[in-house]
Structure 1
Amino acid sequence: MLPTPLLYLFAALAEIGGCFAFWAWWRLDRSILWLVPGVVSLALFAWLLSLSSAEFAGRAYAAYGGIYIATSLAWLWAVEHRSPDQWDLIGGAVCLVGAGIILYGPRAV
């Protein structure tokens, strides 16, 4: 089993890739065939997220959200060739701290 942060990173890449396929088709006038790998990628995302070690789906989704936001900013830079600005970076850092608190905060048994 992958460590949870790595699992969330792969899930985020699958979700972003799937959503970007729809974006490309709809907004960038790409072929409708872009939707085929997009749907597969979104199914992969859902499966990966279900592998989380979190006891509750809501907690897994909340912690995942921070990883998703940071990964989206990396996508902005790497794929769309736009540099995140200082507010993107600060917001992403805050989200990662929040995800860490959710993932690793002490829990009452």
Structure 2
Amino acid sequence: MSLDLSLEEWNFQVVILVQALVGAISENFRMVALCYNEPDWILSFYLEKYVDEDLEEIEDIVCQYTAYQDATLKCKHEVIIGAQGLPAFSDVGRVVYRRRE
């Protein structure tokens, strides 16, 4: 995670991701995190099970998230599926959503 980013830059990206998540989270979502690994913003989605509908929803979330950005934003996403322990907050950048487990 880059320390070169301002709090304003981080907060902007978090707000945009939260807006993209509205109405998209199902009970299968365990956690959604945002990390910056220069030059990319990385969206991490943790799902309990492989569900096609949720994977399609993630594609929509990423599309909506990038639509709010300027053309220079570099963004990647990853999907982690399983019931293994979730990483610690400090290991994933900013946790935007985490269900109670």
Category of TM-score, reference length = shorter chain? 0.3 to 0.5
Q: Is the strand fraction higher in 1 or 2?
A: 2
Larger gyration radius, structure 1 or structure 2 = 1
TM-score computed with the length of structure 2 as normaliser: 0.36
User: Which structure would you say has the larger RCO, counting Cα contacts within 8 Å and 6 or more residues apart?
Assistant: 2
TM-score computed with the length of structure 1 as normaliser: 0.34
